[in-house]
Amino acid sequence: MKNVAILVQNLHNGGAERMAANLSIELAKSCRVYLFVFDASNAIYPYGGKLIDLKVPPLEEASASTRAANVVKRVRRLSFLKNKYQIDCTISHMDGANVVNILSRRNDKVICVYHSMPSMCEDDSFKTHALQKFIGTGAHKYICVSKLAEDDMVQNYGLSRKKTGCIYNFADLKKISSRKRIALPEEAEEFYGKHSKVMITAGRLTHMKAQDRLIRILDSIRTGGRDAGLVILGEGDERPLLEELVKELKLEEHVYMPGEVEDPFSYMAAADVFALTSDYEGLPMVLIEAAACEVPVVSVDIPSGPREVLAPESDIHTLIKGRAEYAQYGVLVPSCASDPRRGELSANEELLKKAVIDLMYDEKIREGYIGKSAECAERFSSDRIISQWMEII
């Protein structure tokens, strides 16, 4: 058996961290897995293998020299652990962990993973290009989670296709199938029960996720005489601003924000539509999980990910404009990234609103997408994706 290490910042903060934890579970079925975490003090994601807390958390407000010393400490500890456990392959997630993985190399194969769309979330500075070039050349393989992100890494950051690759994130469909049937907490059950229709979204509460758009869309739907509610799963810095908007629009009884929940699947399965409003993504796992929960999906057509999930037979380099696309596995609407975030709904937000209404109230459209949801999710099953990881390992 191979000794495989997985390196990630923490086990509670977002999609990349959750994917690292999921990967540890699946790889532990055929490898000896060691899950190295910079700070495991608030771990909430289930994991596989042996968890080892490096106890070197980030120092966000420290001086440059102190942060550099923190990196050195991480590298030394990880290098020691790689040697101690005779690691054959180390898979790291996100820039900070990727750099430490490369610098702590022993005799292990170094695989780095990038979870977003480079040109959308990185600035165009020399420092950023140098960092991505360092990771891309220093790693044995630099994996992106979508084909479009890999193309972007090659075309805009000068990486060689011999070093890059694309492996989609995966979903544990058996787990989701069982967990989606779990009863909702009493408070959530009460919220769903008092609304005829409920839309849901999930993700960190950050500016780029743009959950405020759905709050404004809900207000417009309700103003138009339809009874609907909105569930927002996740936690983050934008919570105060979202709560302020909810209060401003007098939607306190119609927006439910329970924070981070251990199993989002029962919340998704109970909803009528899942909506993604992000300005950019890597490969949004929530779309796959929503499909696995048999919930119709509408997403903004952004770089990257949603089109590869919902319209896999289309040109992934083309973004829709001026209209909605009722695609193979869900509805795509134009990106709202450059639209105003207050006041009247923009033209693109109106398209998003109409798609939400169609998926909630038009039974023919609803049933069509529900019928295809299992087919959509199956493309991202753990069995299919893990075989690609094992080939690289």
What Rg, from alpha-carbon coordinates, does the chain have?
Answer: 21
| Nearest to 110, CA basis, from 72, 136, 144 | 136
> Within 10 Å of residue 42's Cβ, how many Cβ atoms?
10
Averages of pLDDT over each 10 residues, the chain, 393 residues: 96 86 96 97 92 90 86 96 98 96 97 88 80 94 94 92 95 92 95 98 94 97 97 95 97 96 92 96 92 97 92 92 97 93 92 98 96 96 94 95
Q: How far apart are CA 72 and CA 79, in angstroms?
A: 10
pLDDT value at residue 33? 98
Query: So what's the pLDDT on residue 281?
Result: 87
Q: Measuring CA to CA, which residue among 268, 228, 272, 227 is closest to residue 369?
A: 272
Cα gap 109→284, rounded to integer Å:
27
Cα–Cα dist 390/387, whole Å: 5
pLDDT at 262: 78
pLDDT for the residue numbered 63: 86
Matching fold, domains 3-170+381-392 and 173-378: yes
**C-beta separation of 272 from 359 below 8 A:** yes
Assign residue 225 a region (left: φ > 0; alpha: ψ between -120 and 50; beta: otherwise): left
Tokens (6 digits) for 6: 């997985």
How many angstroms separate the Cα of 337 from the Cα of each of 113, 135, 213, 307? 25, 29, 10, 16
User: In the CATH scheme, what architecture does the domain 3-170+381-392 have?
Assistant: 3-Layer(aba) Sandwich (3.40)
CATH code for 173-378? 3.40.50.2000
Provide the pLDDT for residue 64. Answer: 84
Helices (H), the chain: 15-27, 64-84, 95-103, 118-121, 126-138, 147-157, 173-179, 186-193, 212-223, 239-248, 265-269, 285-292, 306-310, 347-361, 363-378, 382-392
Place of tokens 């805009």: 156
Closest CA to 258 of 324, 192, 333, 354: 192
Both structure tokens of 13: 């903060």
Cα–Cα distance list, 85 to 2, 5, 35, 52, 108 (Å): 11, 9, 12, 11, 11
DSSP 8-state assignment for residue 381: B
Strand partners, 5: 34, 90
Query: Per the omega criterion (within 30 degrees of 0), is the bond before 304 cis?
Result: yes
Residues 295, 198 contacting (CB under 8 angstroms): no
* pTM, 2 dp: 0.87
pLDDT at 173: 93
Instruction: Please say whether the beta carbons of 369 and 329 come within 8 A.
Output: yes
3 state DSSP class of 112: strand
Residue indicated by tokens 């023919």: 364
- pLDDT number for residue 30: 96
Are residues 275 and 356 in contact, defined by beta-carbon separation less than 8 angstroms? yes
What is the spatial distance between Cα 294 and Cα 315, in angstroms, rounded to a whole number? 25
Do residues 294 and 225 lie in contact, with contact meaning Cβ atoms separated by under 8 Å? Answer: no
Instruction: Give the start-to-end residue ranges of the domains of the chain.
Output: 3-170+381-392, 173-378
Interatomic CA distance for residues 341 and 343, integer angstroms: 7
> Residue 116 has what pLDDT?
86
Q: Which long-range contacts (CB under 8 A, 24 or more apart) does 85-88 make?
A: 85/3, 85/5, 85/34, 86/3, 87/3, 87/4, 87/5, 87/34, 88/2, 88/3, 88/4, 88/393
Q: Count the residues in the chain.
A: 393
Q: Smallest Cα–Cα separation from 331: which of 360, 296, 357?
A: 296
